[in-house]
Structure 1
C-alpha cells in the first residue's frame, strides 16, 4: 500500500462486524423459539436457510422480510409484522460482536497512530445502537450515519465530511467496505484509496472500469500491512 495513507474509514455492517453471521445466529434463535422447531429437526435448518435467503444480505426491507416470513409460517406466528420487526430490532443486538481479527486490527491502528472513522447508511437509532454495542464509539468520534448526516453512500458529501472530520485529504485515506457501489465506487469517486471485502464474491461486471485498489477476504489481511510505530504505516 502507498505510504501516504494517514487514516482509515470503515463501513459498518458486514465490514467492522459480520452482519450476516449475526443474522444467522438470530435466525436460528427465531426458528427455535418463535416457530417451535427443534435444532435436530430437518425443518429447522430449512427454515433458517429460507429466512437467510429472504434477507438478501440485509438489503431486503424489514417490512417485506417479515411479511414473507409471516406468510410462510402462518398461523404459527401470531404477532403482527410491526411487532415482529420491533422484536427483531431488539434481539438482533444480542447477536452482533467484533471478531478477533477486527479487534486486532483496531489495536494495531491505535499502535500505529492511525485514526479511523465509520460511515454507515441507515437509521440513527439502529446504527448507533450497533456501534455502541460493539464498543466502537469508545474508539472513534468520527461516526457518520446517513440519516443523521442527510445523505447516504455513495453520495460524495458524506465521504468528504468524514475525511474533514479526520483532518485529512481524501487521497490520504483508505476506505474499507463490502458494497461495490455504495462503498468502493463512492469512495473512489472522491479519490480515496479503497479495499473491498469481497465475501467470496466476484467484482460486478458493470463496475469493471472502477475496481478497488485492494480486494481482501477479511480485515485480518490489513494487519499484515501495518508497520509498527509509524504514522505512515500502510
Structure 2
C-alpha cells in the first residue's frame, strides 16, 4: 500500500493551460515590436525565417536547449544584429515577447482545481517552459516554481524532480508529479521515484504512453478529476 501523497509537483504548459495560443500571441507581439521599432528586422525575419533560426539555434547551441528564455534572447539579438538594427532594443523586444507568452488561457477546470489541490497539499511547478506564475497571477497557489532554465537541465532529467522534492521537504515516494507528457513528465518522475499522474485531455498532443512504458499511478482527463481523487483520498485516510 502506498503512503499518502503529501505534495504535488505540476507541469504547466499543456497541463494547466494550452501552450500553443500563448506562443502564437508571443510571436505576434515580437512581430509588432519589430514593425514599430526595428522595421529592417521585421522585413528580414518573417515567421518562416524565425523558425529556421530556431533550428539553427538547436544545432549550434545545444547547451541552451533547457533554457527557453536564453534561447529567445539569443534569437532576438541575432535577428537585430543581422538586420543592422540596434541590439540595445533586445531587452525591450524580449519583454514584449515574454509579456505575451504569459497571457495564458487556462483550461476551464484549471483554476478551481488548483485552488482545491492547494487547500490539501503544497504545490510546486516543475516546467521545461519559461512562463512566470507571478506574471500570470497564480503564484499564490504554489510553494515555488522550478524551471529547467533555473535548474540547469530539463525534464525528464530525474534531478529536477529530486530538487523539487528536496525543496518541498517531502520524500519522492510521497510526491505526485502531474503532467501531460508521457516521456518528460511520467517517465522522468518515475525514474526519480515520484508517483505520477498523466493528465490526458481530449484531443491532447500526447495521446498515448510509449509502448512498454510503466503505466502512471493515475490516468485522468483533467485537473478537476485529480482534485476529486485527492479529496476522496484525504477524506478516507486514517487520522494520525
Q: TM-score, normalised by structure 2?
A: 0.63
Inter-partner Cα distance in structure 2 for 1:32 and 1:200: 29
Match of 1:150? 152
Residue 215 (structure 2) aligns with: 211
CA distance in 1, matches of 2:160, 2:32: 40
Deviations 1:168-210 (A, max 9, x none): 11111110112222211110112212122332533254x5322
User: Size of the alignment, in residue pairs?
Assistant: 208
| 3-state DSSP of counterpart to 2:124 | strand
The alpha-carbon deviation at position 165 of structure 1 amounts to 1.6
Cα distance change on mapping 1:87 and 1:201 into 2, 3 Å: same
Q: Give the conservation status (yes or no) of the 8 Å contact 1:17–1:96.
A: no
User: What's 1:43 paired with?
Assistant: none
Partner of 1:117, secondary structure, is strand
2:126 is matched with which residue? 119
Q: Structure 2: state its 5+ residue gaps.
A: 36-45, 56-65
Q: Which residue of 2 aligns with 1:10?
A: 10
Q: Secondary structure at the match of 2:109?
A: helix
Rounded to whole Å, the distance in 2 between the matches of 1:90 and 1:221 is 35
1:80-91 correspondence to structure 2 within 5 Å? 87=93, 90-91=96-97
Helix, strand or coil for the counterpart of 1:107?
Answer: helix
What are the superposed Cα offsets for residues 151-182 of structure 1, whole Å, 9 maximum, x if unpaired?
33222222112112222111111101122222
Query: Is 1:102 matched with 2:110?
Result: yes
Structure 2 distance, partners of 1:85, 1:62, is 11
Quote the Cα distance in structure 2 between the aligned partners of 1:33 and 1:148: 27
Q: Deviation string for 1:1-46 (max 9, x for gaps)?
A: x6721210011222233222322444567789988xxxxxxxxxxx
- Shift of the 63–204 alpha-carbon distance from structure 1 to 2, 3 Å rule, reads farther
| CA distance in structure 1 between the partners assigned to 2:116 and 2:157 by the alignment | 30
Instruction: Specify the alignment match of 1:73 in structure 2.
Output: none
TM-score, length of structure 1 as denominator length = 0.64
Rounded to whole Å, the distance in 2 between the matches of 1:20 and 1:26 is 10
Q: Which residue of 2 aligns with 1:39?
A: none
Cα deviation for residue 135 of structure 1 reads: 2.5
Distance 2:72 2:209 in 1: 25
Retained in 1: the 8 A contact 2:33–2:96? no
Supply the distance in 2 between the matched residues of 1:136 and 1:183 (Cα, whole angstroms). 21
Describe the superposition over 1:76-131 as per-residue Cα deviations: whole angstroms up to 9, x where unpaired. Answer: x99799979963652342352362422111210233x3111111235xxx54xx22
- Once the two structures are overlaid, the 10-residue window that deviates more, 141-150 or 21-30, is 21-30
- Asked whether the 8 Å contact 2:16–2:110 carries over to 1, the reply is yes
